[in-house]
């Protein structure tokens, strides 16, 4: 039986596909390739180019392959863009996502793992954040993730489609051999941008806000290695075989690092020096986002492998320095 992976040519999707294949699993990928890269897929993986909103295409994939579970990564992910163009986010992340679910239900697929986000919590007051913290997203991107979790709960109640929503904290890093990593356009994430500064591809790195109520004044995030994230998806699929329902788990390490600490780690690991500039706060950034990962540990037996910051940075450095133009190079 095969696993249908939407968005499987993206950053977290392609690493998960890689791990599924390594575990001997049959995988079918659906990706528009608008943001994803066919070159990120292991050789021989069946790729259908198209949208999750194309019901006829999804039905065709389901009739041509013996699919018994899905992982749904396909979505737009840029917070700033979602504020400027919410319609684009609602249409893709929710409307197309629902069309995808409908096809799965029609074809009798019973399990799905969904890419949710810490963005569902907005500006949480309590740290670390437990799953039952209030869900008050502060941008349309986070809203789409929160709404889709609700859709999945209704689809379990009405149609018996079981799901795990994985609320990612900050995905980072690359395969340890540097063969597969992050290639976003535009790139807005901290670690790849700091690495570009270390590579001399940027003049400097800007620290967005140095007056936050955190120990060193810069924002604190919970950085999780992409391989650990991929492993969470594989465990979630297995969990659903024994635990029908609509579940949601944080995926984080439980340990926060500041922007300044990340810059320090990149300088330490790469042994490169570069200019660091103070810049104004980026609108919408919560001061601190750190997961309480207790539930995913207890329920899925998951631990955050590879997520020491020096391992994350070393793997990302290997990927970016050997692929200076990403998949285009
Ligand atoms: N930052 C800088 N300089 C930069 C880039 C980022 O100081 O050049 C700071 C940001 O202000 C933030 C931290 O580095 O404090 C991390 O920023 P990222 O953009 O790497 O990640 P975010 O925490 O903003 O975003 C993550 C996920 C998103 C998700 C969001 C939910 O990457 O997909 O969490 O809050 F939507």
User: Does the pLDDT value for residue 93 go beyond 70?
Assistant: yes
Asked if 245 contacts 287 with a C-beta cutoff of 8 angstroms, the reply is no
All residues at 6 or more sequence positions from 122 whose CB lies less than 8 Å from its CB, including other chains: 134, 135, 136, 137, 138, 142, 286
pLDDT tens per residue, range 65-83: 999 999 999 999 999 999 9
Give the three-class secondary structure for 114: strand
Asked if 37 contacts 327 with a C-beta cutoff of 8 angstroms, the reply is yes
48 is catalytic: no
pLDDT tens per residue, range 116-152: 999 999 999 999 999 999 999 999 999 999 999 999 9
**Residue nearest ligand 1's atom 29 by CA:** 119
| pTM beyond 0.95, yes or no | yes
* 257-258 vs 220-221, strand pairing mode: antiparallel
Sequence-ordered strand ranges (E) for 118-196? 162-168, 170-172
User: Does the pLDDT value for residue 284 go beyond 90?
Assistant: no
CA 264 to chain centre: 24
User: Mean pLDDT, to the nearest integer, of 219-233?
Assistant: 98
Q: How far is the CA of 289 from the centre of ligand 1 (A)?
A: 10
Give the three-class secondary structure for 115: strand
| Domains contained in the chain, CATH given | 2-171+223-251 (3.40.50.720), 174-221+254-328 (3.90.25.10)
Choosing from 11, 76, 141, 156, the catalytic residue is: 141
Residue 328: which pLDDT band, with cuts at 50, 70 and 90? confident
pLDDT tens per residue, range 287-326: 999 999 999 999 999 999 999 999 999 999 999 999 999 9
In a 10 Å sphere around its CB, with 0-12 CB exposed, 13-18 middle and 19+ buried, how is residue 29 labelled?
A: buried
pLDDT tens per residue, range 144-160: 999 999 999 999 999 99
Question: What's the residue count for the chain?
Answer: 329
**pLDDT, position 329:** 55
CA quadruple 55, 230, 245, 75: dihedral positive or negative? negative
């Amino acid at each position: 039986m095969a696993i249908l992976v939407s968005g499987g040519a993206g950053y977290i999707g392609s690493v998960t596909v890689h791990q599924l294949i390594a575990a001997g699993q049959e995988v079918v990928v659906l990706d528009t390739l608008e943001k994803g890269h066919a070159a990120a897929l292991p050789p021989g993986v069946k790729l259908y180019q198209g949208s999750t909103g194309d019901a006829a295409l999804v039905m065709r994939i389901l009739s041509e392959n013996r699919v018994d579970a899905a992982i749904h990564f396909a979505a737009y992910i840029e917070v700033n863009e979602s504020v400027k163009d919410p319609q684009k986010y609602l249409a893709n992340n929710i409307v197309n996502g629902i069309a995808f679910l409908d096809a799965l239900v029609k074809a009798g697929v019973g399990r799905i793992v969904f890419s949710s986000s810490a963005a569902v919590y907005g500006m949480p007051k309590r740290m670390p954040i437990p799953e039952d913290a209030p869900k008050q997203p502060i941008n349309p991107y986070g809203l789409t993730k929160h709404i889709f979790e609700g859709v999945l709960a209704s689809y379990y109640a009405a149609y018996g489609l079981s799901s795990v929503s994985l609320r990612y904290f900050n995905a980072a890093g690359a395969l340890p051999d540097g063969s597969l990593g992050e290639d976003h356009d535009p790139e807005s994430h901290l670690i790849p941008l700091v690495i570009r500064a270390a590579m001399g591809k940027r003049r400097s790195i800007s620290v967005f806000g140095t007056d936050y109520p955190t120990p060193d004044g810069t924002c604190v995030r919970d950085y999780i290695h992409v391989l650990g994230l991929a492993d969470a998806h594989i465990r979630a699929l297995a969990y659903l075989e024994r635990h029908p329902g609509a579940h949601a788990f944080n995926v984080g390490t439980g340990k926060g690092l500041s922007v300044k600490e990340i810059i320090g780690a990149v300088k330490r690991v790469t042994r490169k020096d570069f200019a660091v500039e103070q810049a104004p706060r980026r609108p919408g950034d919560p001061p601190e986002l750190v997961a309480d990962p207790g539930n995913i540990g207890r329920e899925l037996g998951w631990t955050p492998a590879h997520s020491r910051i020096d391992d994350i940075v070393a793997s990302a450095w290997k990927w970016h320095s050997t692929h200076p133009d990403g998949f285009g190079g």
